[in-house]
Chain A
């Protein structure tokens, strides 16, 4: 007992000879086929078990003994219970592998569906406000350069809307990051309002022009305040980072083709996530409006008017970033009803 048949390479040479490996008092002994002994000394490294891959035993002088006799090596070096031997045992059992496949699918689904959004929210909440302000400044610079131009609204109108904004601000209790309102001509964006991560809310002249009442404008502002409070843009960034991290873990062995397809699929999935954010902000707007004693549905009316003018459909498409206005009205109504005691 205690010897294995295999092949021996002298250090630094590609020539091999048939040989026998013995372990005597913890020392390796190599005996060539003709019976001569060529090496006796310590073992430097025994390669881990992996399927039925040939095992390589590296010796201290850099010479190498290799053998397909996996069981012989396990027995000789007493590595039956080592981590990789246990793994090999699991990996070669059809039953265990089937169970692990199901477990892996469930874990993956859970991590993607629940783990990521929770982690993204936690990460967004602990991100310091100074980072948000930096992002805010960067984004403001970009939109001012690319989309918006100076507002053409008169001072009086702006003053009225600013007061609305101050009321909402107080009602929301949002201080960090601080909220502030900017007026801009919408350019290609037309009637719209946007919230930047650091608390800047921008409302376009065109949107103000379309509004028939203060409540309509206030509702939209409340919606944007909701985006800021709930840190939606940060959550989106962290989620995308998380997804690419997950893809890197899973896609270890995948080809370029597979990675391309996953990227497209997650872009599509992001849209549904963005619709979820819109609904959250709609709820926040409704809360603020009810709190101020204003009409919580007014802003949906305004949105309906804008989309109708544009000729968009009012139902929710699967490629849409926002829910359709019909859906929005229904969910906001349901939510406002649930607010009532």
Chain B
């Protein structure tokens, strides 16, 4: 067994230059350059990620990305206009749900096929009904059960992606253990309680100070409510806000845990095992401080933040290789269209970590 750590060699200074040029060219070309910008951005992160002295590569062609984006933006524009024209357009949600699994399969496949390592591309071959179960049914089940069945949904989702992913002709296989997912879920609930208490104290202090400022008073601009009730109202609004923020952080905490469980249960054909040792607390801390840093600098620290979180994940990932990794063979496949991948990208849907 050879232990290989993932290493990231990108740095914030170099990436800042790439980022600002990407941004400026994207604005002056009213978005057309975003396709080239995306390829340069993703390629910078992939190509600076190393495993056993070899780096990853991102091969998507900007023109395919651009075509994908035009299709997606056009569809979203028409949908938004229809929604404004007639409330009946909400019916379009049904065909949307029907094609969603297909879109997601296409997207994961495109992203896999444009990624390579050691001259070998990744690939993905999912099936429609399995994707329908994992991406449409299970999220609903998780919500209806108040999150109690969340780990079951996570297990199915991670297994679906893991078991259909290939590296050349070699198959990955994932069998995320439900017990570990549930213990991660329990820890996330604990984190939620702690976070709620923590933010609750901050909220209480803000409210005490706010009696002077009157922000909350304006927030509840309803004259029909008596003064005493207003106080209770203000408290419940602050409470909801606190719980909302705590819930978002707990979700990030949960996702980091799921990554550990899923990676550690993933094997590449030939007996190569993935290992993930992300600390959930540290990961959430990195994301919170990243956000604050980006906000405080009107976005200028965003490149630094992106490098920081990517490096943290890379540093906590490794591969226990059973061989010297030279036995893999390419399986020739066309890349397919980028529209699905661009839809998920623009809508901010993301399965990776």
Contacts and interface: CB of A to CB of B under 8 A. Distances in A.
A68 B306 CA distance: 24
Nearest to A54: B55
B20 A258 contact: no
Contacts of B346: 248
Query: Would you call the interface of chain B mostly helix, strand, loop, or mixed?
Result: helix
B287 interface: yes
Interface in A45-82: 47, 50-54, 56, 62-64
Interface string B114-125: 000111100000
Nearest to B325: A14
Which residue among B40, B80, B119, B329 has the maximum number of chain A CB atoms within 10 Å of its CB? B119
B349 to A, nearest CB: 10
Interface stretch (B84-92, B141-149, B178-186, B231-239): B84-92
Nearest to B117: A14
Nearest to B15: A51
Contacts of A53: 43-44, 47-48, 55
Contacts of A135: 84-85
B119 A64 contact: yes
A319 B43 CA distance: 43
B130 to A, nearest CB: 25
B37 interface: yes
Contacts of B219: 319
A118 interface: no
A256 interface: yes
B47 A54 contact: yes
A99 to B, nearest CB: 10
B257 interface: no
A24 interface: no
Contacts of B44: 50-51, 53
A319 B21 contact: no
Nearest to B252: A257
A51 B22 CA distance: 13
Nearest to B18: A91
Contacts of B84: 135, 138, 237
Interface string B39-59: 011011001100000110100
Contacts of A137: 86
Interface residues on B, range: 35 or more
A12 B19 CA distance: 33
B221 A97 contact: no
Given A12-B330, A108-B27, A245-B31, A51 B80 contact: no
Contacts of A64: 119
B17 to A, nearest CB: 3
A12 B23 CA distance: 36
B223 interface: yes
Given A15-B326, A255-B290, A259-B348, A101 B27 contact: no
B291 A91 contact: no
Contacts of A317: 218, 221
Nearest to A197: B84
Given A253-B302, A255-B287, A107 B24 contact: yes
Contacts of B86: 134, 137-138
Contacts of A142: 87
A331 interface: no
Which residue among B55, B84, B303, B346 has the maximum number of chain A CB atoms within 10 Å of its CB? B84
Interface string B217-228: 011010110000
A237 B77 CA distance: 11
Interface stretch (B100-108, B273-281, B292-300): B292-300
A241 interface: yes
Interface in A16-53: 16, 47, 50-53
B34 A258 contact: no
B285 interface: no
B328 interface: yes
A97 B13 CA distance: 10
B169 to A, nearest CB: 10
A318 B20 CA distance: 33
A90 B21 contact: yes
A133 to B, nearest CB: 10
Contacts of A250: 23, 26-27, 299
Interface of B: 10, 14-24, 26-28, 31, 34, 37-38, 40-41, 43-44, 47-48, 54-55, 57, 73, 77, 80-81, 84-88, 117-120, 168, 218-219, 221, 223-224, 248, 287, 290-291, 294-295, 298-300, 302-303, 306, 309, 325-330, 332, 346, 348, 350
